[in-house]
Every structure is written in C-alpha cells, then in structure tokens.
Amino acid sequence: MPYAITVVPIMPLRAEQSHKSEIISQALWGECSEIISTGADGWVRVKCQYDGYEGWATVNHLETIDEALFNAPYTHYTAGWINQVHLNGKPMQVPFGCLLKHGSTAVTNWGRVTVQLEETPAEIGSSANISVPALLKAAFLYLNTAYLWGGKSVFGVDCSGFTQTIFKTLGIHLLRDAYQQATQGSVVDFLQEARTGDLAFFDNAEGRITHVGILLNDHEIIHASGKVRVDPIDNQGITNIDTGVRTHKLRIIKRYF
C-alpha cells in the first residue's frame, strides 16, 4: 500500500471524491497518510497516520514517500502562526502545528520533493513532562480563529481539531472527534477539581457528545464555537460571555496529564 506525505499547507479530507463534498477533516503540511484506494479524476482515499481518519483527497496534494519515512517518528512542529518553507526551491507559508519528521534537519527530501525549513521548528513536548505555559501559548494562538467544520488549523478549526492540534504539540495523542477524545484520559469528578489543560465535553439533547474545549481553570474554557473564544463555565455548562446565553451542556471532564 503506497505511503504519502502532505505537500500543501492544508489538505482537505472529503467524505466523497468531489470538490463539492463535505470536508470531514484536514491533514496539515508534513502529515503522512496511507493511500487506500484510487478513484477517478485524481482522487485517492487516504488513511491519516496520526489519527486513523479516512477521507478523499486529491493526489496533487500528496507526494509518495518510502516506508522508512512513513515509519519515522514525528519530532517537531511548526511553532509560528505562519511559517515559511521552501519546496523544490519555491516558497510556501504553512500554519502552526504542522508535524515534522526529521525536523531538526534544515534540508531534507520527501520523495521527489526537497524541503527547506526557513524557521526553526519546535520540539514536540513529552507527555511525561507537560508544560502548561506551552499549552496556553499554543491555545491562545487560535484566539478568534473562525470555526470551520473539519478544520484543524489557525485559518479555521472545529472544536476537536483545536484540542487535537494543541495536544499533539505537547506529545499527547488525541483521536479526531470529540466523542472519540472523550473515551481517552481519566475522569475528573467535579468541575471544582479541574486543572488547566483538562478537557470538558458537552452533549446534545440525544446525549451524544458533540463539543469539547480546554479548561483554563474551574470557571473558564477556551473552545471553538463560532470562533475560538474564552467563555465562563459552571456545573451546568458554557455561557456565551457576549450574549449571556447558555450554549453547551456539560457532560464530563477528562484529564490527560
């Protein structure tokens, strides 16, 4: 099965092999995938290495790589809101949080593509030694970023794409969707016991978990809802600080470090 790496700043993953189809997720520059099948008109179905998410992408957003590069660990990430790189000598701007393999090397090859880093990337953190200041710095880079269904970048992000991207820079592996992330971590029994970096999950009228955010403390949360914003939270859930309207009903709190 062929292996590939994303060579555009943000690669949409679509539900069907059409540019009109729903974007269900994204792969950022440098993320690897397996090509599962080939469709018509340059479409390929891929499985993302990081979280196992599957979707349709266009083949010109990818470069074929060998198994050794695919199996190499992610070591670094792009730390600026935007970051300049060169692909085959041509400049490109890529967003915060792009994972890199061999990120300590300024020039490397991805298949037929020569990659040159213009800015020094940051090392992925250790899940055994989490830096809360680093978590907060990363989270607040997204402040006022527009909500985008399926989004994972500072140019547009959904609630679980936001939490996943922040946590991956810390060395904590989260699954893609909110309900999947809620299956990870350990339960925090009461909001009053919450610590910075705990995740709060919220459900809909049918009891399905549909939203997630990062707790700043026991009374504030940063989350992607319309845009990335900071709102008050209590035992019932989130209240929009601008309108005073209750927007999300608290279901559970989980801790990951």
pLDDT tens per residue, range 128-164 = 899 999 999 999 999 999 999 999 999 999 999 999 9
Residue 102: active-site member: no
Annotated active-site residue in 61, 76, 211, 248: 211
Residue 223: active-site member: yes
Annotated active-site residue in 159, 173, 219, 248: 159
| Range 180-211 burial, b when 16+ CB lie within 10 A, else e | bbbeebeebeebeebebbbbbbbbeeeeebbb
Q: What pTM did the predictor assign?
A: 0.95
What are the residue ranges spanned by the domains of the chain?
3-123, 132-255
Annotated active-site residue in 32, 48, 76, 223: 223
Q: Quick one: which of 6, 2, 3, 44 has its CA closest to 152?
A: 6
> Which CATH superfamily includes the segment(s) 132-255?
endopeptidase domain like (from Nostoc punctiforme) (3.90.1720.10)
What CATH number labels 3-123? 2.30.30.40
Residue 61: active-site member: no
Residue the block writes with tokens 């999950």: 201
84-120: per-residue pLDDT in tens? 999 999 999 999 999 999 888 889 999 999 999 999 9
Span between the terminal Cα atoms of the chain, in Å = 35
| Range 227-243 burial, b when 16+ CB lie within 10 A, else e | ebbbbebeeebbbeeee
